[in-house]
Amino acid sequence: MKIPEFTCLCPKTGQPDFATLYLDYIADKTCVELKSLKLYAWSYRDQGAFHEAVTNKILDDLTSLTKPRYMRLTARWYVRGGIFTTVVAEHKKRGFKLEAMVQLPNLESTESVY
């Protein structure tokens, strides 16, 4: 899943921070519902949060609710102070072995992949 409009506030300056979140997961018995995920992401718009802390909190919240076999959240933050930040957080269910990372095709183009 790609969440291109994630925003929160810098806890020091109060200025908005913008990120694109990428959520990859292997479900177990439950899955992430898209509308709920959208509303959850929007809940951060008025909250101050450091990049690393908010990425880890989102992953913790999602894994505690859905209990996936595997979940990875990648947050690509837009420039702040001349620096782009990328934070990656992962969760694996005890005993789960990730055989190989699945690379999906680049879906950014306007051409249909079907």
- Please choose, from the candidates 12, 15, 4, 21, the residue with its C-alpha nearest in 3D space to the C-alpha of residue 55: 21
- For residues 22 and 19, give the distance between their C-alpha atoms in angstroms, rounded to a whole number: 10
10 is catalytic: yes
Any idea which residue has 């790609």 for tokens? 2
Res. 114 pLDDT band, cuts 50 70 90: very low
- Please choose, from the candidates 91, 98, 27, the residue with its C-alpha nearest in 3D space to the C-alpha of residue 59: 91
Are the CB atoms for 60 and 27 separated by under 8 Å? no
18-51 pLDDT, tens digit per residue, is 999 999 999 999 999 999 999 999 999 999 999 9
46 is catalytic: no
Tell me the domains of the chain and their CATH numbers. 2-92 (3.30.1130.10)
Which of 10, 28, 46, 61 is the catalytic position? 10
Which of 17, 28, 31, 46 is the catalytic position? 17
* pTM, entire model: 0.85
Any idea which residue has 């908005």 for tokens? 16
